[in-house]
Amino acid sequence: FSLTDPASPWLVVNKHRPLVPAAYVPADLVQPAVTMTASGEAALLNRTTAAAAEAMFAAAARDGVAMVLASGYRSYTTQVATYNSYVAARGQADADTASARPGYSEHQTGWVFDISDGNGACGFQPCFADQPSAVWAKANGHRFGFVVRYPWMFHPITGYYYEPWHLRYIGVEAATDMVARGIFTLEEYFGAEAAPGYP
């Protein structure tokens, strides 16, 4: 698989590796049959990620864990608005630790989505890591091809603070291998340079 093709599950997007083209749109966006609070484009994933999400959410439900899709695909245009709202509220330096600049967001690829537990507890906050859906996803996500893309204390490598809700599809083989080898970031696993900030 390619580390640069946006249609590849092994794509590495970070502050040093923008999407090419910047306004990339996945060709196979679909709405997965899962519980969600997302609507519009945010309810979409690429076909591969959607199928894996359906399997994972069903497995979580069998274990008594409620998992909800809170945010999936985000277009370049939406990322412009999202990023600019962070800049307006926090200033650019702080915005860059919380939101990707347009053309640098994994959400634009269709390979990623954010989860919640449906009751709003600790939504998009670090304490979400202790909620059942986050605990389950961290322990079991690799069985379905998912990793927590921005793990705890790895922001000097990934460029982002801990996001226990942000799940990235890389395929079962790679995700399981990462867990088995104790590797936590895509940068380290695929040999890409750390990207703590924009060049």
- Mind spelling out the 3-state secondary structure of the chain? CCCCCCCCCCCCCECCECCCCCCCCCCCEECCCCCECCCHHHHCEEHHHHHHHHHHHHHHHHCCCCCEEEECCCCHHHHHHHHHHHHHHHCHHHHHHHCCCCCCCHHHHCCEEEEECCCCCCCCCHHHHHCHHHHHHHHHHHHHCEEEEECCCCHHHHCCCCEEEEEEECCHHHHHHHHHHCCCCHHHHHCCCCCCCCC
pLDDT for the residue 97: 85
Which pLDDT belongs to residue 120?
Answer: 81
pTM of the model: 0.96
pLDDT attached to residue 118: 83
Residue segments in the chain with a per-residue pLDDT below the cut of 70? none
Active site positions, annotated? 163
Q: What is the pLDDT of residue 98?
A: 86
